[in-house]
Structure 1
Amino acid sequence: MLQKTCCIVFTVLIFCVASFAQKKVSFVFSHLNESTGMPSNSVYSSLQDRDGFIWLGTTDGLLRFDGSHFNVFKSNYKTHNSLAHNYVIDLFEDSDGIIWAATAYGFCYFDKKKLEFVSFLEDDLGKFGRCTSIACDDSGNVWVSGENFICSYSKKTKKFTRYKHQSGVPGTVSSNETSVSSIAKDPVNGSVWVSTVKGLNYYDAKKKQFFNYLNNPEKIPVFDDEWKGAIKIIGKKLYCYGMKLKKLIIYNLETKQIERTITSEAWQGLKVLLTMMIDKNQNIWISFYDSAYYIDSSGVPKEIEYDSNKKTSIGGRYFSTIWQTDDGTIWMGTAAKGISYTNPDKIFYKVYSVPFIDTLTLVKREYESFNSFAEAEDKTWWLGTWSSKLIHFDPVKKTTEIFSIPVTKTPGRVKYIHSVCDSKNVVYVAAQEGVFYLDKRTRKVSALPLPPKIDLKSTGTMAIQLIGDYLWVRTDAATIFSYHISQKKWKEYYLPHNVQKGFYTTRFFLELDRKGELWVNLFPEGLAKFSEKKQAFVVEKISNHHPFEEWFYQFRKDSLNNFWIPSLGFGLVKYDTQKKRYQNWREADGLISDNCVAVCPDEFGQIWTCSLNKFSIFNPINNQFQNFKIPYNEGEIDYRNFMFPLKNKHILALQKGYLIEFMPEKVASEVPKSPALISSLQTPDSTFFINSETKKIALNATQSNFSINYSVLTPYQEQYKYYYMLEGYDENWVAADNKTTANYTKIPGGEYEFKVKTVVNNKSIEGKSLIIEVDTFFYKTKWFLCLILLMIVGLGFAFYRYNVQKTAEVHHLQIQTTRLQKDKTEIQYQNLINHLNPHFLFNSLTSLNSLIATNPKQASKFLKRLSLIYRYILQNKEKELVSLEEEIAFVQNYIDLQKSRFEEGLQVSIQIPDEYQMYRIVPVTLQNLLENAIKHNIIEDESPLLIAIYVENNFLIVENNLQKKHYVETSNKLGLTSLQTLYHYLSNRKLEINETNDKFTVKIPLL
C-alpha cells in the first residue's frame, strides 16, 4: 500500500513538474532593427569590449554600438586592411584588448591604433574557409575552429598549427568536424576547450595534447562522444548541453565534477545548444535553434514566450547571441529581427492582451480606443470605449463581458463614453447623449431619466461622480446636477461662469479632493469648489491665472490635496490648494513632452503624466523627471490617454487598444549612471573611430566641418541629458538634451578638447574627452601672416635701400666714370708721351740714321713702320677697344722697330689662335706691356729678353723672363696701375699681374 501511494505521489509530482515546465514566461522586450536605424537585422555574435562598446557580428558586416549609434565595418576586396568577410560568426577580445572575428571566409583582428583589420585567409595547408568559433588562451595563442578544421595561431611566432584527429593516436582531437560548435577559454588552467561532433576536448598546453573520450585518464565526466553543440564558460564553470540525455550540464572546472544538470520535458527531439548566459541574478538564459528558455532560482526551464503579433515579445523563437550590460539590461541578437532587449529587474509595467480588442476593431474606426474607467470592489475593471461599449474585464482571470450603451445617433455628436462609476449593484455610464446604468444582477443596460432642464438636443452629459447616495452629473452647459439615488430626485446647481465658445466639450471634469469635496474646472475662471454650507459652487480666487487653463485635461489630487493637471501644449500644471497658485513644468524643465493629456499621482508622491506612448515620472521633492517610452501605438495620434489609480496602488493607463498597468514600487529612484562613450568623429569625407587607444584626432584644414557621436550604453536614453563643449571654441557647455551628436562647422585651426558629460536626476556623471587638432590653411596661419607682413616691410625697406643704394651707385659711377675717363685719357696721353718721348724718338732716329748710311732700303722700311706706329696711336686714341687682330698687327710694327735696335737680344713669340682674332682689347695695351718689359729688363745677345704672347682661358698672356735692370730712367711706376683701372672700368674681369723669381706675367681679359 505504501509503495503504491509513493508511486502515485511520485507520478503526481512528475506531472506537476512537467506541467510547470510547460509554462511560458513573458518579458517586456523592446527592439532595435533596420526600421530603427540598425544596419542589419541578422545578429549572430556579440561582445562588450573593455572600452564599453558593444560589437555585433552580423551577416552584413561588423557593428560597433555605443547605445545610440552603429559604426559599420565592411569587407572590401580592393583594400588589404578591411574586414575579412561581411558574415561575422564569432567574436572574442584578447587580453591586449584586440578584437578577433571569425567570419565565413577566414578570420581577422581589429587594430585599434591603426583602425584597420589584419586578416588571415589561409596557412601552409590551405584556405581556412568558414570559421565558426574563435578564442585566445593565456599563452597568446588564437584558437579558431572551422567546418572541418581546428588550428591555433601564435601571436609571438606568427605561425599556425593545425590539429587533426588521428585514429589510434592518443592525445589528438576527437574529431575534425566542429560545425555549429565552439571554442572556449578555460580561466582556471589558461588553455581552451573545443567542442566537436564527437564530444568535448580539452587541450593541455604543457603536455601538448588533447584530452577527450579517447584520452581520459582522469575519468573527466563530461568526456563522451556526444555532440554538445556550443559551449560556454562562465566564471569557473563550463556549460554544455547533452543532446542524448536532454540535459544542460554544469561542470566545475576546479573540482572537475559535474555540479548540476537541468532538464525539461520540453527539450525533446534533437536540440542543438546555440548560446547561453547567466545574468547578474544567476538566472540562466539559454537558446536552442528552435526555442529559448529562462531558468530562475527554481531550476525549472520556462520557455520565453514568442508572439509575432505582440510588440513586446522577443524578436524570434530563439536568439543567436546574448549579453548583459552594467545597468542589468539583457540584450539578445536574433537571426532575422535585430536586437531584442529587456531588463527583468526594471520591468515596471505589464500589458494586458484582452480578447475584446479584436471585437473593437470590427467597428473599423481608426480612432477606436478606451476612454473611461472604474474599478469595482472585487478589483475587476469597467471600461468605456469610443464606440459606446461598456466592457467588464477581470485582469486575473482574463475574462471579458461586453455591453452596448444605447446612445442615439444625433448628427454632430460624439458617441463615446465619457465617464464610468461603479457601485455595489449598479455601474453608471455617462455619454454625451445621456446617463445610463447597468444592473449587475440582471446584466441589463437602461437609460437614467434626466431632469427636464437637460435637453439632450442642445446639452450633453459629460463627467459623472458618485459620492455616497448622490450621483453628480456635469453637462457641457453652465449647470451641474446631482441625483439622489434612493429618492430618485434631481437638483440643479448653476456654475458661476459662461461656457466659452470653442471650448472643447471633452474637457469638463469633476474631481474629489482628499477631504471629499467636489471640484470642477472652469474657463476662464479656473477652478470652483462645492460648498455644503452655501449649497453652491464657489470660484477659487487664484492669484496667477495663465493662458494654459483653456487647455486643461482631467485633474487628479495628490496626497497633499494639491491638484495636478495635464495641459495640451503647456506641459504639467500643479494647483496648490493652500497657496491658490499655479506652478508649471515643461519640456525645458525635463518633461518628456509639452502635450500632456493624462496625469496620476502615485503612493510615493511621484506624478505620472503621459503624452500618447511617452511618459514622465516627476518627483516634486527634488524637481526631477524620469522619462521613458512604451513600444505601443508608435506613430499613432488619433486617440487620447487616460490614467487612473488602482486599489492595489498601481496606475492603469488606457492606450489605444491596450491596457497597461504600471507598478510604481518597481521604479528605481536612481537610474544607471554610466559615463558617455565618444564613439566616432565624422567629416564630410572621413570617419574616425574613437576608442581607448585614441588620444588625439588630427584633422586637415579642409576637415573643419565635423560631427561627434557620443552616447551612454543604455536603452533608457530619454532619461539622460547630455552636455558637451569644444574647449577652445565653445565658451559654455552646450545643452543637447537627449541628442547624441554634436555638430561643428568652420572651426578655425588649432587644438581643442571636446568634452561630454551626462546628467541624470540633476546629477552629473563622469564625462569623457577627446583632443582634436585642426590644421590651418597656410595662408591663414599667424606665421604666414607675419611672414607676409615681414615681407611687405622687408620689400619696402629693400626698395628704400635699393633706391638709396642705386642713387649712391649712380653717384659713385658718375664719379668713377669721371675718374676712369680721366684715367683713360691719362693712359692714352701717357701712351702718346711714351711714343713721343725724346728717348724713344732719339733711339728711333739714331737707328734710322745708321740704316740710311748702311742700308737705305731697310731705313725706308724702318721709317714706314715708325710712321704706322704713330698713325695707329693717333687714330685710336679716342677708342675704348680695338680687335685683337688690329692690336697684333700694330704691335708687330713695334716689335720690328725694336728688333732693328736690339737684334738677337729681343725675341718675341706670338701664338694667337684664329678664333680669338675678333676679341677686343684696349688700344696700345700690348705695346705698353712690351715697352714695359724692354724698359725694366737687360737685353743682350748672350742674355736675350724672351717675350711670349698667347691665349689661355680667354685671357691674353704677355709673359717675359725676368732680368731686371738696377736703374730705370723714365719709370714712374704708374703704367700698369692705370691699365688695371681702365680694364676694371670696362669689365668685371680683372687684369692680373704676377711676378715670380724668373718670370713676369700679365693676364689681360679678352673682351
Structure 2
Amino acid sequence: MKAINSSLQTSRGTMWLEIIGVVLALTLPLPARLFAQEPSVKFERIALEEGRTVYCMLQDHQGFLWLGTADGLIKYDGYGFTAYRHDAFDSLSLSTNFVYALCEDRSGTLWVGTVGGGLNRFEREREQFTRFVHDPNNPHSLSFNSVGAIHEDHTGALWIGTADLLSEAGAGLNKFDRATQQFVRFVHDSSDVRSLSHNSVWDIFEDHTGTLWIGTQRGLNKFEREKGQFTHFLHDPDNPNSLSHSDVRVIYEDRARTLWFGTRGGGLNRFDRDQQVFTRFRFDRNNPRSLSQDSVLAISEDQTGALWIGTFRGLNRFDRTREEFARFVSDPNNIHTLSNNLIWSLCQDRTGTLWVGTFFGGIDKFDPGRARFKPFVPESNNASILSEKSIGGIYWDEAGTRWIGTPAGLARFEHAVKPFAHLFNKSFNSQVNCISGDFSPRGTLWIGTNGNGLYRIDHSTGKLTRFVYDPNDPHSISDSQITAIHQDRFGTLWVGTLGGLNRFDREKERFVRFLHDQNDPYSISTDAVTAICEDSVAQNTLWIATGDGLNRLDSQTGRFTRFLNDPKDPKSLSDNFIWSLHVDHTGKLWVGTNAGLDCFDTTIEKFAHYTTKDGLPSGQIMGILEDDRGRLWVGTMKGLSYFNPETGSFRSYGLADGLAANEFLNMSHHKSVDGKLFFLSLKGVAAFHPDSITDNPYIPPVVITALKRYNTDDAEGTAIEEKGISAKKEV
C-alpha cells in the first residue's frame, strides 16, 4: 500500500457552491407540476434548536434517534433533545462539533465521525468520548481527521471512510482493529489499478453476500477482502449502461437484494449483478414523474417496500412497477410538507416512521402507518364536482355505482368509468343533502335537496320526478328542505324535512304528514327532522331524530313517544339536538347528539352516555356506522372514531392519519355491501374497509432518561443529575 501524500489534492468549496446554487434556484418559481404531491402524505416538522442541518441519523438499540449536525451530536428521545458538544477544556468531550457520520456496532457502542476532529467512541454510562485522530508520525493512526462514513461488517470489523465535506479531500479507507486500537489504511495509488479509485470515501455498505462496496468521489469500488484489491465501476460517457456519474454518495440494498447507488450530479442507479450493468434514473424537466433532481444523498426503504430518495430538490418515492417517482417538496403555506427541499439523510425507525434530515430545516417525520385513510378523489373532467365544502349525500348502490351529491347536482361514478358523470345538474338547482336507494322492483333513486324538494330518478328510464311543498295541497311534501330519507322493511318510504315527517303513498303519489302539535303530547316533538332509522326488534317502530329530542313512532297508530333531556335525570338523553341514529346488530339504539354518543336501552328506557371524557374527539356526532365486526365508527366535527362496545373504548383518527378533513357531515355516511364505510367530510370522502385500519404493533422499549425526587419543597420534583442513566443497570 502506498504512503499518503501530505499534500492532498482538493477541490475546496465545489459541493458548497452546488448547494448554494440549488438553494437559490429553489427560491425561483418552478412549474406547478413539480409541486403536485399526494395529500395523504403529511410530514411533521420538528425544529432543532441545536444545529438545523442534519447530516446523518440512526436509531440505536434503545430507540433513541441520534442526529449528526454542524453544531454537535444530538440525541432525541421523542420528547426533547440532548446535545453533546466539543469543550476545549475537556478532552473527554466530542472532538469537534461537526458530526457527519454515525454507526452503532453490535455491542451497542456508538461511533461518531466528525469533520476535522477524527473518530469518536461514545461511552454511554459516563457520557464521555474517546477520540481517534490522525497522527502524521503514526502510520497506524486514522489516515485523516474528516470522516465521511462508518460501517461495521458481518465479521465485526469497523470500517472508516475519510472525506472532508468542506474541501472534499480525503485519505482513503481505514479498517480499525479494536484489540490493538490500530488502523489499517487502504488508499488510492495511481500506479495500481486495483487500489481504491479515490481517497474521498463517502459511503461504505456491505450487501447480503458479504461484499463490501465503497462509494468515492471518483468511482464505485467492490472490495475483495482476501486480496485486498478493489474493482472499479466508473462513469463512461460512451456507455449508457455504465454508472451515471462517478461521484457516488450513497449505497443501499433493498429487501429484494437490489443494489442502488446515489450520485452527486448523475441521479440514481440500479445495479444488475448478473449483467454488471446500471440502469439510470435521472431528472427530466419534461417528465413530472422523473427524479426531482440529480444529486442523491440518501436512500431508504420503508416497511411497505417503497423506496425513498433524498435529493437536493425534495424527497422522492419510487414506484417499482411503473418505474416512476412521486415528488414531495416544501410548501411555505403548508406545514405538513417538508421543512426544506435539500435532503441530506434518511432513517426508518422500528415503528416504520421515516425520518428526514434536511438542510437548515431540522428533521421531518412521516409515518406511513398513520396515513390509514386514502381520500376518495376520482379523476374528473370537472374539478368542482368534489370541491371543498360542496358535497352532501352519498350512496353506493348494489350494482357498485357511487352517487355523490354536489351543488351542481348529482355525480355518478362507476367502476368501469374513471370520470364522474354529472347528472341533472340543471334540474336540482340546489345542494343535494341526502341520497337513498329504493328497493322496489322499479329500482329508483331518491335525492333530497336543500330547499328544492325531493327527486325520484327511475334507473331504467332515467325519468326525473320532483316533489315539492305546495301550500295549497295538504298532500304535498310538508317542506322542500329534505333532511332524511328512509325505506322501512315493508317498503314504505319515509322522508324527513325541516317542516315535519312524511310518509309517501306510492299508489296515490302523495304524502301523509306528521307534524308537531303543541296540544298533542303524542305528536312529534318538533318539525325539524334530522335522521330516521328503524327498530330491528319491534315491528312498526321507527326512531325519529329531531332538533328537539328523540321520538319513537308507532307507524300503525301514528303516535309518537318523546325522549328529552332532563337535567335532573343523568339517564335521560344527553342533549335534545340529535344529528344521527343507528340500530346495531344486537338491536341497541345509538344516538348521536350535540353532546356525545348515547346508547338507549329500550327495555328500561334509559340512556348511557359517552363523551369527550371517554375518548371522543368531539361531542358533535354527525354519523354512525357499524362494521362487520360490530364496532361503531363515528364521524364527528373533530375527526373519525371507532368505538368498541365490548370494552367501551374509543380510537380516534385525524388529519395525520390521512383524513382529508376532520369535520364530517350529517346525512352523509354509508356502508356498502362489501363492508366498506364511507363518511363525507368538508373536503371529500373518507372511504375505507375497517379491516384495513390497523394500529402499529411495535411495542417500544422502556428507557429511563431522568429521575426526580419529590421529598423537597419543589412540587415538580428536583432532577437527580445522573449522566448516562439510560445505560445504567442501577442508580
Relative distance call for 1:269 and 1:525 in structure 2 (3 A) is closer
Is the CA contact (8 Å cut-off) linking 1:519 and 1:530 kept in structure 2? no
Q: Which residue in 2 is equivalent to 1:648?
A: 674
Relative distance call for 1:573 and 1:104 in structure 2 (3 A) is farther
**Is structure 2 residue 551 aligned with structure 1 residue 527?**
yes
Report the structure, 1 or 2, having the larger helix content: 1
Q: Secondary structure at the match of 2:484?
A: strand
Q: Which residue in 1 is equivalent to 2:162?
A: 145
* Greater relative contact order (Cα < 8 A, sep 6+): 2
Relative distance call for 1:314 and 1:392 in structure 2 (3 A) is farther
Deviation at 1:618, TM superposition (A): 1.6
Instruction: Name the CA distance, whole Å, in 2 between partners of 1:482 and 1:358.
Output: 37
Q: Which residue in 1 is equivalent to 2:232?
A: 213
Q: C-alpha offsets along residues 25-65 of structure 1, whole Å, 9 cap, x if unaligned?
A: 96943322047x89777544322211122223456654434
Q: Which residue in 2 is equivalent to 1:889?
A: none
- What value does the CA root-mean-square deviation take over the aligned residues? 5.4
Q: Which amino acid aligns with 2:198?
A: S
Instruction: Name the CA distance, whole Å, in 2 between partners of 1:33 and 1:771.
Output: 34
Is the CA contact (8 Å cut-off) linking 2:428 and 2:449 kept in structure 1? no
Q: C-alpha offsets along residues 661-686 of structure 1, whole Å, 9 cap, x if unaligned?
A: 12212123x751514544633xxxxx
Relative distance call for 1:655 and 1:402 in structure 2 (3 A) is farther
Instruction: Name the CA distance, whole Å, in 2 between partners of 1:321 and 1:749.
Output: 35
Q: Which amino acid aligns with 1:114?
A: R
Instruction: Name the CA distance, whole Å, in 2 between partners of 1:118 and 1:699.
Output: 32
Relative distance call for 1:73 and 1:529 in structure 2 (3 A) is same
**Is structure 2 residue 260 aligned with structure 1 residue 240?**
yes
**Is structure 2 residue 629 aligned with structure 1 residue 604?**
yes
Matches within 5 A, 1:803-882: none
Is the CA contact (8 Å cut-off) linking 1:613 and 1:632 kept in structure 2? no
Deviation at 1:69, TM superposition (A): 1.4
Q: Secondary structure at the match of 1:680?
A: coil
Q: Which residue in 1 is equivalent to 2:411?
A: 392
Matches within 5 A, 1:453-602: 461-467=481-487, 471-476=493-498, 479-485=500-506, 487-494=508-515, 508-514=530-536, 518-521=542-545, 526-531=550-555, 533-538=556-561, 545-569=571-595, 571-577=596-602, 580-602=605-627
Deviation at 1:494, TM superposition (A): 4.0
Q: Which residue in 2 is equivalent to 1:429?
A: 448
Matches within 5 A, 1:724-743: none
Is the CA contact (8 Å cut-off) linking 1:384 and 1:417 kept in structure 2? yes
Q: Which residue in 2 is equivalent to 1:173?
A: 196
Is the CA contact (8 Å cut-off) linking 2:664 and 2:679 kept in structure 1? no
Deviation at 1:699, TM superposition (A): 7.4
Q: Which amino acid aligns with 1:437?
A: Y
Q: Secondary structure at the match of 1:101?
A: strand
Relative distance call for 1:748 and 1:281 in structure 2 (3 A) is closer
Q: Which residue in 2 is equivalent to 1:195?
A: 215
Deviation at 1:616, TM superposition (A): 2.1
Q: Which residue in 1 is equivalent to 2:14?
A: none
Deviation at 1:416, TM superposition (A): 6.0
Q: Which residue in 1 is equivalent to 2:685?
A: 659
Q: Which residue in 1 is equivalent to 2:705?
A: 680
Relative distance call for 1:407 and 1:100 in structure 2 (3 A) is same
Relative distance call for 1:268 and 1:451 in structure 2 (3 A) is closer
Q: Which residue in 2 is equivalent to 1:745?
A: 716
Is the CA contact (8 Å cut-off) linking 1:305 and 1:314 kept in structure 2? no
Q: Secondary structure at the match of 1:420?
A: strand
1:183 to 198, 204, 213: 204
**Identity %, equivalent residues:** 17
**Is structure 2 residue 630 aligned with structure 1 residue 620?**
no
Q: Which residue in 1 is equivalent to 2:83?
A: 73
Matches within 5 A, 1:743-822: 745-746=716-717
Q: Which residue in 2 is equivalent to 1:53?
A: 64
Q: Which residue in 2 is equivalent to 1:134?
A: 150
Equivalent residue pairs, number: 643
Relative distance call for 1:597 and 1:267 in structure 2 (3 A) is closer
Q: Which residue in 2 is equivalent to 1:113?
A: 125
Q: Secondary structure at the match of 2:125?
A: coil
Please report the TM-score for the alignment, with normalisation by the length of structure 1: 0.53
Q: Which amino acid aligns with 1:274?
A: L
Is the CA contact (8 Å cut-off) linking 1:140 and 1:156 kept in structure 2? no
Instruction: Name the CA distance, whole Å, in 1 between partners of 2:157 and 2:545.
Output: 74
Instruction: Name the CA distance, whole Å, in 1 between partners of 2:690 and 2:572.
Output: 31
Q: Which residue in 2 is equivalent to 1:276?
A: 299
Is the CA contact (8 Å cut-off) linking 2:188 and 2:199 kept in structure 1? yes
Q: Which amino acid aligns with 2:686?
A: I
Is the CA contact (8 Å cut-off) linking 2:244 and 2:267 kept in structure 1? no
Q: Which residue in 2 is equivalent to 1:349?
A: 373
Relative distance call for 1:451 and 1:118 in structure 2 (3 A) is farther
Is the CA contact (8 Å cut-off) linking 2:396 and 2:403 kept in structure 1? yes
Relative distance call for 1:284 and 1:667 in structure 2 (3 A) is same
Q: Secondary structure at the match of 2:453?
A: strand
Unaligned runs of 5+ in 1: 1-23, 216-220, 252-256, 409-414, 682-696, 706-743, 755-767, 774-1007
Instruction: Name the CA distance, whole Å, in 2 between partners of 1:312 and 1:340.
Output: 10
Is the CA contact (8 Å cut-off) linking 1:420 and 1:429 kept in structure 2? yes
Q: Which residue in 1 is equivalent to 2:10?
A: none
Matches within 5 A, 1:401-420: 401=422, 417-420=432-435
Q: C-alpha offsets along residues 262-308 of structure 1, whole Å, 9 cap, x if unaligned?
A: 77797799955533345556665555656634456x6x534235477
Q: Secondary structure at the match of 1:193?
A: strand
Instruction: Name the CA distance, whole Å, in 2 between partners of 1:588 and 1:606.
Output: 19
Is the CA contact (8 Å cut-off) linking 2:661 and 2:683 kept in structure 1? no
Instruction: Name the CA distance, whole Å, in 2 between partners of 1:748 and 1:76.
Output: 24
Deviation at 1:92, TM superposition (A): 1.2
Is the CA contact (8 Å cut-off) linking 1:650 and 1:663 kept in structure 2? yes
Instruction: Name the CA distance, whole Å, in 2 between partners of 1:329 and 1:447.
Output: 54
Is the CA contact (8 Å cut-off) linking 1:544 and 1:581 kept in structure 2? no
Please report the TM-score for the alignment, with normalisation by the length of structure 2: 0.70
Is the CA contact (8 Å cut-off) linking 1:653 and 1:662 kept in structure 2? no
Deviation at 1:491, TM superposition (A): 1.2
Unaligned runs of 5+ in 2: 1-35, 235-240, 283-288
Q: Which residue in 1 is equivalent to 2:103?
A: 92
2:45 to 33, 37, 43: 33
Relative distance call for 1:679 and 1:186 in structure 2 (3 A) is farther
Instruction: Name the CA distance, whole Å, in 1 between partners of 2:219 and 2:423.
Output: 59
Instruction: Name the CA distance, whole Å, in 2 between partners of 1:427 and 1:28.
Output: 33
Q: Which residue in 1 is equivalent to 2:22?
A: none
Is the CA contact (8 Å cut-off) linking 2:590 and 2:597 kept in structure 1? yes
Q: Which amino acid aligns with 2:373?
A: Y
Relative distance call for 1:57 and 1:177 in structure 2 (3 A) is closer
Is the CA contact (8 Å cut-off) linking 2:148 and 2:161 kept in structure 1? yes
Instruction: Name the CA distance, whole Å, in 1 between partners of 2:467 and 2:403.
Output: 18
Deviation at 1:111, TM superposition (A): 2.7
Q: Which residue in 1 is equivalent to 2:395?
A: 374
Q: C-alpha offsets along residues 622-651 of structure 1, whole Å, 9 cap, x if unaligned?
A: 444333322399998887565332343211
